[in-house]
Amino acid sequence: MKPDISVVIPVYNEADNLTELFSRLMSTMDKLGRPYEVIFTNDGSKDDSGKILRDFFKQRPDEVRVIDFNGNYGQHIAIIAALERARGKMVVTLDADLQNPPEEIPKLVAAIDAGHDSVGGKRMGRQDSFFRKYASKLLNVIRERCTDIKMSDQGCMLRAYSANVVDAIIRTGERSTFLPALAYKFSANPGEVEVEHAARAHGQSKYSLYKLIRLNFDLITGFTLLPLQMFTLFSVACAAGSFVLVLILFYMRIFLHDNTNGVFTLFAILFFLISVAMIGIGLIGEYVGRAYQSVQQRPRYNIRELIEKNADA
């Protein structure tokens, strides 16, 4: 039978969390009393996650499907691979580390039933480090200002989408992407629900500071050209300012015969402008690099094995 709901979970080295996740998830979904499937993507885990997921399939072959990647492609690509195979009328995504309580899924399902085509969780009482919480707040504000995407909690991955929105996401073929923003773009009636948030049950966050920075560059470069446009405007302002400075120096030298002062000021201005130019080159690199990856047309991921009933059907 075609499932009503597809639950999608990316897994990267979460062996210690999977058993509890699975029992809480399955009992919540069973209680809903609607046909469902759970798609786990094993994103190149190096621990026992793959073995455990295979075991889940053996326990519940009718509901569980496992996509086993050959390597680590990142959370968002892991989710996309599952979206491409999801059969439900709606898809719910959540993290494997129990930070998103599976018991909250019915709230999202109800919101989709009520007519929303994408629903974002808004984490109440967020259980993350001080740094993560405040960095998140700042990044939400930056996204709000730079793009036309409106949501209260872009980092929450407990979300639900209708099949129509999922279909649009898949068709983009984007690789460095930020799913909540992409889904927002394609939805006609986005909604939000408040959800609980827990501390990570076991293990550590899979996002290093570097990965977090990359992810947020994906969000900004993927959804706005504003940084490039601001840079151009700023360059124009700098050019105008430099022209005025040249006129002043010229005046001082010719009419006041003063060419001693201002050397260090000039250096300071020069260093500043050089650093601005370097930022600009870096910024262009962010966009060009992504364009390059996308013209290479490599597959976004490679599946080592699909573990599901009638895998060839």
Interacting residue ranges for Mg ion, rule: CB under 5 A: 95, 97, 99
> Smaller CB distance to ligand UDP: residue 14 or 117?
14
The interface partner of residue 133, options being ligand UDP, Mg ion, none and the CB cut-off 5 to 8 Å by kind, is none
Q: What does DSSP assign to residue 262? A: T
Rule CB under 6 A: say whether 140 interacts with ligand UDP.
no
CB of 63 to ligand UDP, least distance (A): 19
Q: The dihedral of CA 98, 141, 106, 29: what is its sign?
A: negative
Task: For residue 18, give every residue at least 6 positions away whose Cβ sits within 8 Å of its Cβ, in sequence order, or none.
Answer: 11, 49, 52, 53, 56, 96
Binding to ligand UDP in span 186-225, by CB under 6 A: 200, 205-207
Asked whether 148 and 188 are in contact (CB, 8 A), the reply is: no
> Smaller CB distance to ligand UDP: residue 5 or 18?
18
Rule CB under 6 A: say whether 11 interacts with ligand UDP.
yes
The interface partner of residue 43, options being Mg ion, ligand UDP, none and the CB cut-off 5 to 8 Å by kind, is ligand UDP
What is the DSSP secondary-structure string of 2-36? --SEEEEEEESS-HHHHHHHHHHHHHHHHHHTS-E
Number of residues that bind ligand UDP (CB under 6 A): 17
User: The tokens 């504000």 sit on which residue?
Assistant: 141
What tokens were used for 195?
A: 């959800």
What tokens were used for 178?
A: 């930020």
Candidates 26-34, 72-80, 220-228, 241-249; binding stretch for ligand UDP (CB under 6 A) = 72-80
Rule CB under 6 A: say whether 97 interacts with ligand UDP.
yes
CB of 75 to ligand UDP, least distance (A): 4
Binding to ligand UDP in span 31-50, by CB under 6 A: 43
Which one of residues 8, 29, 75, 217 is an interface residue with ligand UDP (CB under 6 A)? 75
Q: What is the CA radius of gyration of the chain?
A: 25
The interface partner of residue 231, options being Mg ion, ligand UDP, none and the CB cut-off 5 to 8 Å by kind, is none
Q: Reduced to 3 states, what is the DSSP secondary structure of residue 193?
A: strand
Q: Reduced to 3 states, what is the DSSP secondary structure of residue 112?
A: helix
> Smaller CB distance to ligand UDP: residue 63 or 95?
95
The interface partner of residue 14, options being Mg ion, ligand UDP, none and the CB cut-off 5 to 8 Å by kind, is ligand UDP
Q: What does DSSP assign to residue 102? A: G
CA distance 164 to 142: 29
Alpha helices in the chain, H assignment, sequence order? 15-32, 49-59, 75-85, 105-113, 130-146, 163-172, 179-186, 209-223, 226-255, 263-296
> Smaller CB distance to ligand UDP: residue 80 or 89?
80
- Distance from the Cα of residue 158 to its chain's centroid: 12
Rule CB under 6 A: say whether 72 interacts with ligand UDP.
yes
What residue ranges bind ligand UDP (CB under 6 A)? 10-12, 14, 43, 72, 74-75, 78, 95-97, 99, 200, 205-207
